[in-house]
Amino acid sequence: MPEAFHPGGTLPKKARVAVYDAPNGDFRLADYPLRPPQPGEALARVRMSTICRSDIHSWQGRRPSPLPGLLGHEIVGTLAALGDGVTRDLRDHPLAVGDRITWSEYFVPGRNLMRDVHDLPQKSPGVNKYGHMSADEPPHHHGGFAEYCYILPDSWILRLPDELSDEEAAPINCGVATMCAAIEAADIRFGDVVAIQGLGLLGLYGAAMARARGASRVIGFDGVPARRDLARRFGADQVADPADRAALPPLCASGSVDVAIEVCGVPAAIPEGMAMLRPGGRYVLAGVVNPLAMAMLDVNLILKKHLTLQGVHNYHPRHLLQALEFVAANHRRFPFRELVDGRYPLADVGRAMADAAAHRVLRAAIVP
């Protein structure tokens, strides 16, 4: 066990992380050394890390992930130490040891063409993500399934307001920020009819955001009845099982949808989404993140219907700030806290991952 630590006190010499050694393998606790943060770094004591679908896909071997794997990137932490040069957050608010924070899911290797010219820092050469590196790679503590996490240079930190719970704040730096990017790409306008394919955490936030953007109707699709029921509390007017064609809402069947957003991760849903769209409709793909996600498309429909297709992967730093502002402004309107419906100690990461993979919980939280 690590030595006791209080913000502003002495750092322990080592701390625990939960790692796995092979796809679908058991998780084990391992000790790795801690050091003071270097210039441009900070160190956070992890308060909560929620399990994203990409964590599950990495653990299952469906996407490349170095081993021994240390997962977790939806993180809320308490600032334990600040390296030289780390003084203010993304909103230019001062940072201090003891602050409750979240930070971007990725960090970039300094200045580059994609970041500085094309305004796509999330697509910078050599970009890396928290929870996507081997635990053997220094500084070792760079994932959320751990007691501590280093915040590496060229990350973006946000100090969290007191009124948000950890459950409301943890998904902000991945699921919520990604949906901010998808909603922006979809260009939802007042009066639009919006279809959302997939009602996991991203889809539920998408329904709430579409409603906040002035959509006249939000239609959600998911094969899990409990998610369809929950979607109504997040702004969905109609819900349907995508496998039940007879229950397809009339607006979808008639091809009268202005915007469709895919967050289900099922390639076969893409032709269905295209069919829903009216001429001139807009389609955003944000869920098919696994390699070789193949779909058979009649691309002539893209031409004949004047469709716009846009992919969203990761997000711009502005979306991280937008995500925090959206949750803070709407956490009394929508039950965001209820979406994190399972809490597990660090020693139970394996059980948490199994429960999340089997949809026994919507969003599992690791609480070291």
Overall number of domains in the chain: 2
Do 18 and 153 fall within a single domain? Answer: yes
Per-residue pLDDT at 1: 34
**Confidence at residue 110, expressed as pLDDT on a 0 to 100 scale:** 84
Whether 1 is in a domain gets the answer no
Any domain includes 170: no
144 and 258 in one domain? no
Q: Which domain holds residue 132?
A: 14-163+331-366
Is 3 contained in some domain?
Answer: no
Do 159 and 29 share a domain, yes or no? yes
> What's the pLDDT at 8?
52
What CATH number corresponds to the domain at position 304? 3.40.50.720
Q: Tell me if 223 is assigned to some domain.
A: yes
Together in a domain, 293 and 211: yes
Is there a single domain that holds both residue 154 and residue 280?
Answer: no
146 and 19 in a single domain? The answer is yes
Placement of tokens 């050694």 in the chain = 21
Is there a single domain that holds both residue 140 and residue 199? no
297 assigned to some structural domain: yes
Low-confidence ranges of the chain (pLDDT < 50): 1-6
128 shares a domain with 230: no
62 lies in the same domain as 153 = yes
pTM (predicted TM-score): 0.93
Contacts of 135 (CB under 8 A, 6+ apart): 17, 19, 30, 32, 68, 69, 70, 143
Question: What is the structure's pLDDT at 4?
Answer: 39
Residue 320 lies in a domain: no
Cα–Cα separations (whole angstroms), residue 363 to 74, 91, 200, 215, 322? 11, 28, 9, 26, 21
In-domain check, residue 325 = no
342 found inside a domain: yes
Residues 184 and 144 grouped into a single domain: no
**CA-wise closest residue to 84 among 39, 44, 21:** 39
How many other CB atoms sit within 10 Å of the CB of residue 56? 18
* pLDDT at position 9: 62
Tokens of 320: 């991280």
DSSP conformation class of 258? E
Q: In terms of domains, do 150 and 195 share one?
A: no
Same domain, 356 and 298: no
Instruction: Give the torsion through C-alpha atoms of 226, 232, 235, 238, to 10 deg.
Output: 110
